[in-house]
Amino acid sequence: MSTPRTFSDITDQLAAQAIELPSWAFGNSGTRFKVFGTPGTPRDPFEKIADAAKVDELTGLAPQVALHIPWDLCDFDELATHAEDLGVRLGTVNSNTFQDDDFKFGALTHEDQAIRTKAIDHHLECIDVMDRTGSRDLKIWLAEGSNYPGQADMRGRQDRLHDSLTRIYDRLGDEQRLVLEYKFFEPSFYHTDVPDWGTSYAQVAALGEKAMVCLDTGHHAPGTNIEFIVMQLLRLGKLGSFDFNSRFYADDDLMVGAADPFQLFRIIHEVIRGGGLNNPNVAFMLDQCHNVENKIEGQIRSVLNVQEMTARALLIDTEALQEAQRAGDVITANDIFMDAFYTDVRPDLAEWRVSRGLPADPIRAFRDSGYQQQIAADRVGGTQAGWGA
């Protein structure tokens, strides 16, 4: 008989958890119909880092901030010092080949070598930024594909993608990595050049050890068993990072865990099973936009959701589960799994936070802190940061 785990058995693992925040979550965002402005929105990367540091200060969960180039172009030495002063680090560098007229018909896959070179050069500049900031990962999401059957030579584009990625990969330093994100549709509606984990895996496997897959939880068709993909990529040693978010219909970049906490629990269970929790090779990142909710609160809620589902998944009595699985006891196996999922860990988490000098309720602490009122009063004038779309 195995002994079920208690909250005190899992606190070391919870204490080691780190979730990277996206700088763009603090800027204005919206749908293709409207980008809303909000009082206090950062006007530059420095203010974004300050907001991200607030999330870390109140949760102890978010020591690193991902950058997006060119949105966050600035003096990176100064930005790194600013981050350090506030107790956080600069993290993953995201490239952007989706907002330039030249890339209307593709970037790394484009038919025209000159445009491909421009897209490759952008990625090389991103690696220059990584050299300055000490970032390890270059994250590539490509808005490339076609809208109509016959419009594009899908095979040729795959070959050109390989060629372009090879040039980028060759520029990586020994400690640097490239993570290739997939998304099954949008902005293209017929075919996408990196639509699924298999394509991303095939492309990164052809590059070498420093290239991995990035799994964005919002980038799958409804009903996809995402935890199976997590399991498989971990099994293959190619899960480089997560972009966590939620979607109800299409890719919405909503708060992770909001749409389907059970799915998040199942994903984290496979992360733990595959040795991916608190493993530096598997980066936990958020990729979210807060169009209607307060942005800092949206980030706080998101990291807490990840923490909560991690705690529940860590509580699974794995020995008993394996025993039931081996015995073919379907009902008991499912019961053990669901018992952990239904365990309300929130009171234990609140108490544990206090024992670590953190607020029991980080959202309430944020509201009580007056930070939002302060930035709304201070950040007047200038242009609020946003997608620039």
Binding site for ligand PSV (CB under 6 A): 94, 141, 181, 183, 216, 243, 251, 253, 287
Q: CA-CA distances (angstroms) from residue 25 to 41, 55, 147, 175?
A: 10, 12, 29, 27
Residue 56 interacts, among ligand PSV, Mn ion, none and using kind-specific CB cut-offs from 5 to 8 Å, with none
Crossing angle of the two packed helices 295-314 and 261-273, in degrees rounded to 10: 50
Binding footprint of Mn ion on the chain (CB under 5 A) = 216, 243, 287
Beta carbon nearer to ligand PSV, 140 or 375: 140
Beta carbon nearer to Mn ion, 168 or 256: 256
Beta carbon nearer to ligand PSV, 47 or 287: 287
Q: Minimum distance between the CB of residue 277 and ligand PSV, rounded to whole angstroms?
A: 22
The torsion angles phi and psi of 191, rounded to 5 degrees, stand at: -130, 150
C-alpha 62/C-alpha 362 separation (Å) is 13
Q: Are 53 and 88 in contact (CB under 8 A)?
A: yes
Q: Minimum distance between the CB of residue 251 and Mn ion, rounded to whole angstroms?
A: 8
Residue 183 interacts, among ligand PSV, Mn ion, none and using kind-specific CB cut-offs from 5 to 8 Å, with ligand PSV
CA 205 centroid distance within chain: 21
C-alpha 163/C-alpha 120 separation (Å) is 10
Residue 366 interacts, among Mn ion, ligand PSV, none and using kind-specific CB cut-offs from 5 to 8 Å, with none
Residue 99 identity (one-letter amino acid) = Q
Q: Minimum distance between the CB of residue 341 and ligand PSV, rounded to whole angstroms?
A: 27
Residue 260 interacts, among Mn ion, ligand PSV, none and using kind-specific CB cut-offs from 5 to 8 Å, with none
Three-state secondary-structure class, residue 276: coil
Three-state secondary-structure class, residue 145: strand
Q: Are 190 and 146 in contact (CB under 8 A)?
A: yes
Beta carbon nearer to ligand PSV, 27 or 359: 27
Residue 57 interacts, among ligand PSV, Mn ion, none and using kind-specific CB cut-offs from 5 to 8 Å, with none
Tokens of 84: 């350090």
Q: Minimum distance between the CB of residue 287 and Mn ion, rounded to whole angstroms?
A: 4
Q: Minimum distance between the CB of residue 308 and ligand PSV, rounded to whole angstroms?
A: 23
Beta carbon nearer to ligand PSV, 188 or 372: 188
Beta carbon nearer to Mn ion, 20 or 287: 287
Beta carbon nearer to Mn ion, 136 or 220: 220
C-alpha 303/C-alpha 128 separation (Å) is 29
Burial of 128 (0-12, 13-18, 19+ CB in 10 A): middle
Please give the DSSP secondary-structure letter assigned to residue 108: T
Q: Minimum distance between the CB of residue 380 and ligand PSV, rounded to whole angstroms?
A: 28
Residue 76 interacts, among Mn ion, ligand PSV, none and using kind-specific CB cut-offs from 5 to 8 Å, with none
Q: Are 96 and 68 in contact (CB under 8 A)?
A: yes
Q: For ligand PSV, which residue has the nearest CB? A: 141
C-alpha 225/C-alpha 116 separation (Å) is 34
Residue 201 interacts, among Mn ion, ligand PSV, none and using kind-specific CB cut-offs from 5 to 8 Å, with none
Q: Minimum distance between the CB of residue 216 and Mn ion, rounded to whole angstroms?
A: 4
